[in-house]
Homo-oligomer: A and B are copies of this chain.
């Protein structure tokens, strides 16, 4: 049985606050190493990229071989089974359909003063997607990052994926192909982030970099931010399941374990109004856990961070959820819509017993790149908007300038900005002259 809290216990508030503020991540300080790699890459370009790939990925490359050729991609992709291909294609199609609905609209209107105002959305010209190598090379993440970029209309879409010892996951290449990626480079780590941000002779720079990665990749993204845009820096994954009444304990246990098997730092929390269900789920976790291939990881996560909370009622559960602001929120209750309306801060909500979080990781359509570590209080999952930017537009008729210009002059004067006021005044003077003629 993991940590079990009851909201009616005297020490509940203190223990819940401890849980909220617990750090689940080692923050290895790799900033200096990464700064060195970025500086070297900027100075040495492709040569440094090849050197670092030889050192870290045990792979000898030349600048010509940094990029996967179409033939190499075709050969790898041909190894994918028809079943895997069909599943990935279904996922791609559903993710595309969901994100297509996110495209925002331009606007333009003329107000009563004669000012034509509005805005316009345009895509980022070029985006780079980082894909981790080895065990964490998830083809699903390629789809989740690349498809919103393509839907947004990004002109050039680049993937960097390390291939330690020259080994690549064919499903990653297939996912890139299904998502419409233009260029794939077999480089990784901080050097790949630096190459995409600053460019080399072989890799043209991009404007925005997204995608998960280890501590070096995360530090490199932070350091190149400003030069390029980046997505969030994600922390360990987490799920909150709120359940009541007649739920199947095994289903809930599997949902908690699905989160726990990601990472020993992941966190799975169950809030239930039913102490008997809490007990049954804890028992089911203990029974199922040893049967999992990733039992060691999932077990460490459940032991260190797994939490079960007994709440008085669903309103109290919703209030706790709002303090947790979970990345994933599963509502296994009789009226999930009513409860969802009270859960104000969450990356993604899964409603009802037939919507396990795992379908959201792959095929339901919404993005699986979501805010972690309580940041759903102020941020959102990855979307088409991350690959667009908005330009505001204003056109004043002479009459509009005459109507609102004097207020601008007054405010400019109050802020001591004389030329601001004069730039309006000069135009109004001519309008007045013309009016007087």
Contacts and interface: CB of A to CB of B under 8 A. Distances in A.
Contacts of A401: 354-355, 359
Interface stretch (A2-10, A12-20, A61-69, A410-418): A410-418
Contacts of A116: 351
A348 to B, nearest CB: 4
Contacts of A204: none
A114 B400 CA distance: 51
A115 B357 CA distance: 14
Contacts of A336: 395
Interface centre among A208, A254, A400 (most CB of B within 10 A): A254
Contact of A390 (B357, B381, B397): B381
Interface in A158-204: 171
Contacts of A117: 98, 364-366
Contact of A411 (B107, B363, B392, B408): B363
B362 A411 contact: yes
Interface stretch (A46-54, A86-94, A303-311, A312-320): A86-94
B420 A258 contact: yes
A115 B365 contact: yes
Given A140-B415, A348-B394, A385-B385, 17 more contacts: A86-B407, A86-B410, A115-B364, A125-B344, A138-B415, A226-B375, A229-B377, A288-B422, A293-B418, A347-B392, A349-B392, A354-B396, A357-B423, A359-B424, A361-B412, A364-B404, A366-B394
B207 A426 contact: no
